[in-house]
Amino acid sequence: MGKPTGFLEYVRELPLDRPALERIKDWNEFHDHMPEDKLRTQAARCMDCGVPFCHTGTLLSGMASGCPINNLIPEWNDLVYRGLWREALDRLHRTNNFPEFTGRVCPAPCEGSCVLGINAPPVTIKNMECSIIDRGWEEGWVLPEPPKKRTGKKVAVIGSGPAGLSAAAQLNKAGHWVTVYERADRPGGLLMYGIPNMKLDKKEVVLRRLDLLSKEGIEFVCNTEIGRDLPAKQLMDDFDAIVLCTGATKPRDLPIEGRSLQGIHFAMEFLTANTRGVIEGDFNGNHISAAGKDVIVIGGGDTGTDCVGTSLRHGCRSLVQVEILPKPPAERAADNPWPEWPKVYKMDYGQEEAAAKFGADPRVYLTTAKKFLADDQGRVSGVHLVNITWKRNDKGAFVPEEVAGSDKVLPAQLVLLAMGFLGPEQPLLEQLGVERDPRSNVRADYGKYQTSLPKVFAAGDCRRGQSLVVWAFNEGRGAARECDRWLMGATDLP
């Protein structure tokens, strides 16, 4: 390493985000950048580890530990420290097709397993990754690289989210003709419509990469839902292989009294319509607005946070985020040791913004909704909440139990359900006739990705269930490798 004692000499430092009360007035990214000298100092904190856990990409206690796409983190940190930015970008692209995406939206399990993080703040890996690729674009180093030879094989990728894009990019590099089918009006899937613009800019970041993929030879076919607009059998007849990357888009519902009232929406309905309005620069009254309303977000994950941030930018009157789990501890618990993902309390960008506007973290913990209340026009007017505690039942499983006397009613004219997803939508899978596992996901072994139909492969959330963007990139690359092997008898894809 260029600076073996850097971790002893320098403290962790991150770029300042734009002030919360300023950034909620627009839809621009809230990230700021650090000057080069500070970035090189942060890169110097990367230790000369004997075993760098940051790029292991394993599952510990059901959560990611280390980078699932095995980014060569110590190597590109060393290159940045030495001022070799172009070489750092080349090293980053060896394992990651889209570092500008992971550098913005990945929760950074690499930092959770950083060796320095055992007894000090970890290396700023995520910010370094984003800085490398952003500089690459600024310097003009990121250029289309179409394959020099074509195999003549045709592959259809169904779904243009993280798994679909990474599978398409790798298959195209192998020389196959790749067509990506997307049912929405623009490609990108979750990256386009599931993540708000202030976290991942669509025109400057997402569309820029999609344009490059098109120049490399990938064809995108939008407004086309396979199984409805185009029969699945036609793809089976027309293509040499198919890769399913449809995601886990079936939302978890909350079937309690009053669920059918107007003003109660799934989070993705809210986020998708809003992002479309931001991209087009004109909402035309077609989005779900939180302006002037009391908003309750049910669900405490990333999607819930995105609903919080979006509602604040609309100008909501009040905001509460309901979380059924307990508040995490400030430090790692005894049963959550390094290098597991640290389950500790933190405020994401949405909670920071809500605290700046309303004075406190909007989340209420160990709380669930019992019923939705209606006004005289059939619209939601409030939510009946109750505190819960988690207890073991007679089978040993933890189940929620209401706390007597803890009932309360909060006003709400907009309720957003952000409780996760149950799995892939089934009509296409039924039309293809692929086998599914007990959770309704496509049955395909991790590492092989081949379904019960030999020419059909599956990757990402439709195979593994709801997960991180970076796992989708891992699986998309893996499915491309195995698809290429099946098509050609061997593969050079990593």
Question: Residue 468 sits in a domain of what CATH number?
Answer: 3.50.50.60
Is the pLDDT at 256 greater than 90? The verdict is yes
Same domain, 10 and 97: yes
The CATH number given to whatever domain includes residue 21 is: 1.10.1060.10
**In contact, 218 and 167? CB cutoff 8 Å:** no
Higher pLDDT, 324 or 281: 324
Angle between helices 469-488 and 162-173 (to 10 degrees): 30
d(CA 414, CA 109) in angstroms, rounded, equals 33
Which domain-ending residue is among 373, 390, 419? 419
Same domain, 400 and 426: no
**In contact, 128 and 14? CB cutoff 8 Å:** no
Q: What is the pLDDT of residue 285?
A: 66
Which domain-ending residue is among 93, 108, 139? 139
Q: What is the pLDDT of residue 48?
A: 80
Instruction: Let me know how many helices (H) and strands (E) the chain has, helices first.
Output: 17, 18
Say if 494 falls within a structural domain.
no
Same domain, 270 and 375: yes
8-state DSSP, 25:
T
**In contact, 449 and 479? CB cutoff 8 Å:** yes
Collapsing DSSP states into helix, strand and coil, what is residue 228?
coil
**In contact, 35 and 15? CB cutoff 8 Å:** no
Q: What is the pLDDT of residue 369?
A: 98
Say if 1 falls within a structural domain.
no
Say if 493 falls within a structural domain.
no
Same domain, 282 and 384: yes
Q: How confident is the model over 58-65, as a mean pLDDT?
A: 91
* Other CB atoms within 10 Å distance of the CB of residue 318: 16
Say if 373 falls within a structural domain.
yes
Say if 146 falls within a structural domain.
no
112-157 tens-digit pLDDT:
999 999 999 999 999 999 999 999 999 999 999 999 999 999 999 9
Collapsing DSSP states into helix, strand and coil, what is residue 370?
strand
Closest by Cα among 146, 274, 271, 256 to 212: 146
**In contact, 32 and 22? CB cutoff 8 Å:** no
Same domain, 394 and 332: yes
Q: Say what percent of the chain tops pLDDT 70.
A: 99
Mean of per-residue pLDDT scores for the chain: 96
Say if 207 falls within a structural domain.
yes
Closest by Cα among 183, 190, 184 to 206: 190
Same domain, 471 and 410: no
Same domain, 268 and 384: yes
Categorize the per-residue pLDDT at 51 as very low, low, confident or very high, splitting at 50, 70 and 90. confident
Which domain-ending residue is among 419, 450, 478? 419
Categorize the per-residue pLDDT at 287 as very low, low, confident or very high, splitting at 50, 70 and 90. confident
Q: Say what percent of the chain tops pLDDT 90.
A: 94
* Other CB atoms within 10 Å distance of the CB of residue 426: 12
Q: What is the pLDDT of residue 83?
A: 96
User: What's phi and psi for 140, nearest 5 deg?
Assistant: 80, 20
Q: What is the pLDDT of residue 485?
A: 98
Q: What is the pTM of this model?
A: 0.95
Say if 149 falls within a structural domain.
no
Categorize the per-residue pLDDT at 1 as very low, low, confident or very high, splitting at 50, 70 and 90. low
Say if 163 falls within a structural domain.
yes
- Enclosing domain of residue 323: 253-419
Same domain, 242 and 332: no
Scan for tokens 């036609």, then name that residue. 234
Retrieve residue 331's tokens. Answer: 């430090």
Same domain, 320 and 345: yes
Same domain, 258 and 365: yes
Same domain, 272 and 403: yes
Q: How confident is the model over 249-278, as a mean pLDDT?
A: 96
Retrieve residue 494's tokens. Answer: 């990593």
Is the pLDDT at 335 greater than 70? The verdict is yes
Total domains, the chain: 3
Q: What is the pLDDT of residue 334?
A: 94
Residue 478 sits at the vertex; the CA angle it makes with 450 and 423, to the nearest 5 degrees, is 65
**In contact, 479 and 167? CB cutoff 8 Å:** yes
d(CA 468, CA 105) in angstroms, rounded, equals 9
Same domain, 131 and 184: no
**In contact, 411 and 210? CB cutoff 8 Å:** no
